[in-house]
Amino acid sequence: MPLNIPNALTWARIVLIPIFVGMFYLPEALMGAQTKNLVATLIFVVAAVTDWFDGYLARALGQTSAFGAFLDPVADKLMVAAALILLVQLSRVDALIAVVIIGREITISALREWMARVGQSASVAVAYVGKLKTAAQMVAIPMLLFNAPIYGVDMRMFGNILIYVAAALTLWSMGYYLHRAMPLLQGKLGQ
């Protein structure tokens, strides 16, 4: 495992996850609800920014690695899954939405792993609809974590709208990737 700046940023995102989750278990006397919401939002935003930044640095510094390519999406999925589970527990996201988004991530990760093993990873490379899905959920989740108005704008309402958009894009992107893999899947199932 090469230790370089991009991989260090990815590891930092993973280390932030238990801090992010644990904050909501602190007693109210130690940290009030709105402070927890604010700190959780900041942690999530920092994780999202470092996700973009570590990819940029890996390419700019020529520090890409197979391990980094594996670990980066794992860190992203863990942070998003942790946030969605917390939001369900806090009654800010419907469990069905969390199941759709997390289930898609597991399904497509498994599909990509299998396609890579059979030498067809290009068939399920990241598509534009997948990028839109990611953008929608990365904006929605901080809004739902913050859970308070900003300058009179109801963040929770807009976060809810965006998380439903993200769920719809999640299903669309999953359909897209499965459709792309279907010829190979049908060939393997027929054997």
Flag whether the pTM goes above 0.95: no
Same domain for 100 and 67: no
Q: Domain boundary at 91, 115, 132, which?
A: 91
Dump the DSSP string for the chain. ----HHHHHHHHHHHHHHHHHHHTTS-TTTS-HHHHHHHHHHHHHHHHHHHHHHHHHHHHTT---HHHHHHHHHHHHHHHHHHHHHHHHTTSS-HHHHHHHHHHHHHHHHHHHHHHHTT-GGGG---HHHHHHHHHHHHHHHHHHH-S-BTTB-HHHHHHHHHHHHHHHHHHHHHHHHHHHHHHHHHHHT-
Same domain for 122 and 154: yes
Count: domains in the chain: 2
Same domain for 41 and 9: yes
Same domain for 155 and 80: no
**Domain region containing 5:** 1-91
pLDDT in tens, the chain (191 residues): 567 888 888 899 999 999 999 999 999 999 999 999 999 999 999 999 988 888 888 888 888 887 777 888 889 999 999 999 999 999 999 999 999 999 999 988 888 777 777 766 655 666 788 889 989 999 999 999 999 999 999 999 999 999 999 999 999 988 888 888 787 777 665 55
Q: Domain boundary at 91, 122, 141, which?
A: 91
